[in-house]
C-alpha cells in the first residue's frame, strides 16, 4: 500500500510537471528548435570573460607611500569610452588582477599617472597571461646625447599613448601651449637659468623656434638651414622638493622623413649646487606626422630643490622637424585622508577606508540576466521567465579591497506563472558581511542571518527578493511584459547595498554567481551554465529530466546537448516574446552556440540581419 501510494504521487507529480512545461511549449510559431542544436562540450554560453591584467609602473616612481590610481575604459574617454574599473598599485608599483569584459570588446584604454595606453585584447585564452603593460619599458636614465641615438632606439616599445591629457592639477610650467612669444636662449641644456615660467632654447647646435602650425603656436626644431644635424631642445626650470612625484606630458609630432627625427622628454632633478641628480627620460623614436601625447613620471630624489623640464630632439635632415605642444607638468599633491591616493583622483578624498568606485558592466549601462524556470525539465527557450537588469557599483579602498557594493536592479519581465526568487553567491565567509539592505523578502521560505545573508551557507549568499511578482508590481498577473498587446507594467529600479566588516580581496567579479530559486522550493536553484550551486541546492535533481549536470566534471545546468537555462548579457538585452525560442529571434545565436563561441560573438547586437524583430518584445509607446 505504501509503495503504491508513493508511485501514485510520483505519477501525478511528473504529469503535472510536464503539463506545466506544455503550457509554455505550445509554441505558435516553432521555427527552428534549439533542441536540435549540437553545442560542443565545455562551452557555457559566456558573453563575457575574465581578463588577467598586470600593470607595472616605472621604477622611477616611489610607491612606498603612494598608491596612485589607474582607470580602465572601454575606449578613450575623450571619445565617449565608459569607465569599467579602477584600482591602485602595491608598494612595488604593480597591479595584478582580473577584469570581466565583454568578449566582443577588442581593446581597452588604460589611464595611469605614467600615461595612457590603448591595449589590444588578444584572441587567445585570457585566463593565463592575459594583458601585461609595463609603463617603464620606454624609460631611460641617461643625460641628453650621452648615448648614440641608434642605441637609444632599442629602448622603446610599441606602446602608443592616446590623446588623453593630463588635466589633474595646476600646470607648474609657464607658457605650456607656447602661445606667448617670450623665449630665452642658453648654450646648453645644463647652462644655469632661473625659475621664471619661461622656456629657454639651447643654441649649441642651432635653436628651436616658435612655429605657427595652422594657427596653433608650437615650438619646433629648425625646418631648414640646420646644417642637417640639429641637436638641442627647450628647457624650463621649476621648484621642487625631494619626494615630489613630477609628471610631464607633451604632444609630439614630426614632418619630413621621420627616420631622421627623434625626441625625448626629460625630468632632471637638480640640487642646491645646480648639479643634476638623475636623468629620467622617455624616448619617442621616429615621431609620426600626427600628434601623440607622451607622459613621463618620476619621484624626485633626496637633495632635489629644482627640476629641469627638458624637451629634447635630434633632427638629422633639412626639411624635417620635430614639434612640441601642450606641455603640462604636475607635482606635489594633496592627500587629505592619508590613504596614498591624491585628492584629485580619490573618489572619497576625506575617507581613508574608501578610494575608488568600480562599475559593472560600466558606469552608465545595464547588464541583463535571463532565465528559464522549468529546470530540471526543459523550458521553451524564450529566456524570458525572469528578465532582470542590473548594474553594480563596488567601492574599493586604496589597497583594492572591496568595502561595499551597490546593485541597482530591475525586474523587467516575468514570462512565467511560477513565483521565483533571485540571489547571488560570492566566495567568502558570510559572517564578514556587516549588513544587507534593500532586499524584498516576503514569502517565508528563506532563513536569513541577522546580517541579511542566508543561513546554512559556507559562502556568502544574498537574496535580492523571494518573489519576482512583488518586484514588478504585477498584482498577481502572469506573463508580465512578454506578450504583445497585453497590458505593460513599467519596471521599477531597486537598490541593494552590501557592507563588509573587513575589506574583501577575493570576491571575484560582478555579477558573481547569480541564480533563481523556483516557485518557493528552496532546493531548486537555476544557475548560469557552468556555475556551481549553493550548499542548499537539492543536488538529487541533477541528472533528472532534461538536466545533465555532473559535479564530478564541473558540468552544471546544461542539457545533454549542452543547452543552458540562463544567460548573462553585458548589455540591456532585448528578449523574445512569449513562447518564441531565442534561436528564432536572434538569427546567429545557433551559429554562436554550435561554434563554441568562435562565430558571431556579437550575436545579441542590433545589427543588420542579426534579428527577427517581430519575435522580440517591444514595450508599447
Task: Please give the share of the chain, as a percent, with pLDDT higher than 90.
Answer: 79
Q: Check residue 10 and give its pLDDT.
A: 38
Cβ neighbours for 275, distance < 8 A, ≥ 6 positions apart: none
User: How does residue 28 score in pLDDT terms, banded at 50, 70 and 90?
Assistant: very low
More confident: 348 or 206: 348
State in words which class domain 139-330 has: mainly beta
Domains 48-136 and 139-330 share a fold: no
- As a whole number, mean pLDDT of residues 382-408 equals 98
What's the rounded Cα separation, in Å, for the pair 404 and 499? 4
Residue among 245, 282, 246 nearest 264 (CA): 282
- As a whole number, mean pLDDT of residues 202-216 equals 93
- As a whole number, mean pLDDT of residues 442-449 equals 97
Contact 112, 70 (CB under 8 A): yes
pTM for the model: 0.89
Q: Check residue 332 and give its pLDDT.
A: 85
User: How does residue 225 score in pLDDT terms, banded at 50, 70 and 90?
Assistant: low
In whole numbers, what is the pLDDT of the chain averaged over residues?
A: 90
What's the rounded Cα separation, in Å, for the pair 424 and 401? 20
Contact 191, 204 (CB under 8 A): no
Per-residue pLDDT for 562 more than 60? yes
User: How does residue 30 score in pLDDT terms, banded at 50, 70 and 90?
Assistant: low
What's the rounded Cα separation, in Å, for the pair 183 and 199? 5
Name the phi and psi angles at 259, rounded to 5: -55, -25
Q: Check residue 5 and give its pLDDT.
A: 35
Q: Per-residue pLDDT tens for 525-554?
A: 999 999 999 999 999 999 999 999 999 999
- As a whole number, mean pLDDT of residues 469-479 equals 82
The fold adopted by the segment(s) 48-136 is Immunoglobulin-like (2.60.40)
Per-residue pLDDT for 7 more than 70? no
Task: Please give the share of the chain, as a percent, with pLDDT higher than 70.
Answer: 89
Q: Check residue 310 and give its pLDDT.
A: 98
User: How does residue 228 score in pLDDT terms, banded at 50, 70 and 90?
Assistant: low
The H-or-E segment that residue 390 falls in is: strand 386-396
Torsion over CA: 466, 470, 475, 479 (sign)? negative
Q: Check residue 621 and give its pLDDT.
A: 81
Q: Per-residue pLDDT tens for 31-83?
A: 799 999 999 999 999 999 999 999 999 999 999 999 999 999 999 888 899 99
User: How does residue 17 score in pLDDT terms, banded at 50, 70 and 90?
Assistant: very low
More confident: 346 or 19: 346
Q: From the centroid of its chain, how far is CA 558?
A: 29
Q: Where are the beta strands (DSSP E) in 57-135?
A: 70-73, 83-87, 94-102, 107-112, 115-120, 131-134
Burial 561-587 (b: 16+ CB within 10 A, else e): bbbbbbbbbbbbbbbbbbbbbbbbbbe
Question: What are the structural domain ranges in the chain?
Answer: 48-136, 139-330, 367-572
Q: Per-residue pLDDT tens for 152-180?
A: 433 333 344 444 455 556 799 999 999 99
Per-residue pLDDT for 19 more than 50? no
Torsion over CA: 502, 507, 511, 517 (sign)? negative
Q: Check residue 227 and give its pLDDT.
A: 54
More confident: 160 or 299: 299
Contact 601, 592 (CB under 8 A): yes
Amino acid at each position: 500500500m505504501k509503495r503504491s501510494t508513493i508511485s501514485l504521487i510520483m505519477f501525478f507529480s511528473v504529469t503535472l510537471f510536464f503539463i506545466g512545461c506544455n503550457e509554455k511549449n505550445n509554441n505558435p510559431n516553432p521555427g527552428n528548435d534549439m533542441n536540435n542544436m549540437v553545442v560542443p562540450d565545455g562551452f557555457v554560453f559566456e558573453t563575457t570573460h575574465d581578463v588577467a591584467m598586470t600593470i607595472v609602473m616605472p621604477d622611477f616612481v616611489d610607491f612606498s607611500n603612494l598608491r596612485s590610481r589607474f582607470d580602465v575604459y572601454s575606449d578613450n574617454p575623450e571619445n565617449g569610452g565608459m569607465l569599467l574599473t579602477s584600482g591602485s598599485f602595491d608598494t612595488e608599483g604593480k597591479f595584478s588582477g582580473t577584469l570581466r569584459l565583454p568578449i566582443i570588446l577588442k581593446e581597452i584604454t588604460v589611464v595611469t599617472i605614467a600615461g595612457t595606453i590603448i591595449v589590444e585584447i588578444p584572441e587567445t585564452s585570457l585566463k593565463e597571461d592575459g594583458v601585461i603593460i609595463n609603463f617603464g619599458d620606454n624609460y631611460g636614465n641617461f643625460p641628453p646625447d650621452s648615448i648614440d641615438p641608434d642605441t637609444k632606439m632599442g629602448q622603446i616599445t610599441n606602446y602608443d599613448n592616446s590623446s588623453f591629457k593630463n588635466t589633474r592639477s595646476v600646470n607648474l610650467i609657464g607658457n605650456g601651449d607656447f602661445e606667448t612669444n617670450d623665449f630665452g636662449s642658453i648654450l646648453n641644456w645644463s647652462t644655469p637659468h632661473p625659475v621664471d615660467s619661461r622656456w629657454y632654447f639651447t643654441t649649441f647646435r642651432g635653436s628651436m623656434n616658435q612655429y605657427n602650425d595652422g594657427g596653433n603656436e608650437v615650438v619646433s626644431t629648425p625646418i631648414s638651414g640646420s646644417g642637417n644635424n640639429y641637436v638641442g631642445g627647450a628647457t624650463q626650470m621649476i621648484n621642487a622638493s625631494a619626494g615630489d612625484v613630477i609628471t610631464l606630458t607633451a604632444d609630439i609630432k614630426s614632418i619630413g622623413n621621420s627616420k631622421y627625427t627623434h625626441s625625448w622628454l626629460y625630468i632632471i632633478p637638480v640640487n642646491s649646487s645646480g648639479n643634476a641628480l638623475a636623468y629620467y627620460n622617455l624616448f619617442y623614436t621616429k615621431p609620426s606626422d600626427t600628434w601623440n601625447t607622451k607622459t613621463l613620471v618620476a619621484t624626485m630624489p633626496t637633495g632635489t630643490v629644482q627640476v629641469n623640464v627638458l624637451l629634447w630632439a635630434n633632427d638629422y635632415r633639412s626639411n624635417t622637424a620635430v614639434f612640441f605642444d601642450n606641455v603640462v607638468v604636475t607635482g606635489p599633491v594633496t592627500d587629505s585622508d592619508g590613504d596614498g591616493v591624491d585628492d584629485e583622483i580619490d573618489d572619497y578624498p576625506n575617507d581613508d577606508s574608501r578610494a575608488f568606485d568600480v562599475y559593472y558592466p560600466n558606469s552608465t549601462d545595464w547588464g541583463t540576466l535571463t532565465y528559464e524556470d522549468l529546470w530540471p525539465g526543459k523550458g521553451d527557450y524564450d529566456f524570458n521567465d525572469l528578465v532582470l537588469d542590473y548594474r553594480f557599483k563596488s567601492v574599493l579602498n586604496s589597497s583594492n579591497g572591496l568595502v561595499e557594493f551597490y546593485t541597482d536592479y530591475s525586474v523587467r519581465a516575468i514570462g512565467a506563472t511560477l513565483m521565483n526568487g533571485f540571489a547571488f553567491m560570492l566566495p567568502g565567509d558570510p559572517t564578514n558581511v556587516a549588513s544587507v539592505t534593500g532586499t524584498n523578502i516576503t514569502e517565508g521560505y528563506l532563513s536569513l542571518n541577522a546580517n541579511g545573508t542566508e543561513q546554512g551557507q559556507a559562502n556568502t549568499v544574498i537574496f535580492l527578493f523571494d518573489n519576482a511578482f512583488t518586484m514588478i508590481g504585477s498584482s498577481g498577473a502572469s506573463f508580465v511584459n512578454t506578450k504583445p498587446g497585453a497590458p505593460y507594467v513599467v519596471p521599477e529600479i531597486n537598490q541593494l547595498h552590501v557592507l563588509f566588516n573587513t575589506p574583501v580581496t577575493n570576491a571575484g567579479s560582478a555579477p558573481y554567481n547569480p541564480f533563481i530559486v523556483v516557485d518557493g522550493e528552496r532546493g531548486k536553484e537555476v544557475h548560469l551554465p557552468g556555475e556551481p550551486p549553493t550548499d542548499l541546492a537539492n543536488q538529487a535533481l541533477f541528472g533528472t529530466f532534461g538536466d545533465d549536470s555532473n559535479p564530478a566534471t564541473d558540468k552544471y545546468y546544461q542539457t545533454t546537448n549542452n543547452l543552458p537555462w540562463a544567460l548573462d548579457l553585458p548589455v540591456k538585452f532585448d528578449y523574445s516574446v512569449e513562447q518564441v525560442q531565442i534561436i528564432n529571434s536572434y538569427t546567429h545565436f545557433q551559429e554562436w552556440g554550435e561554434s563554441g563561441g568562435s562565430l558571431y560573438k556579437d550575436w545579441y547586437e542590433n545589427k543588420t540581419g542579426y534579428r527577427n524583430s517581430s519575435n522580440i518584445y517591444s514595450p508599447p509607446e
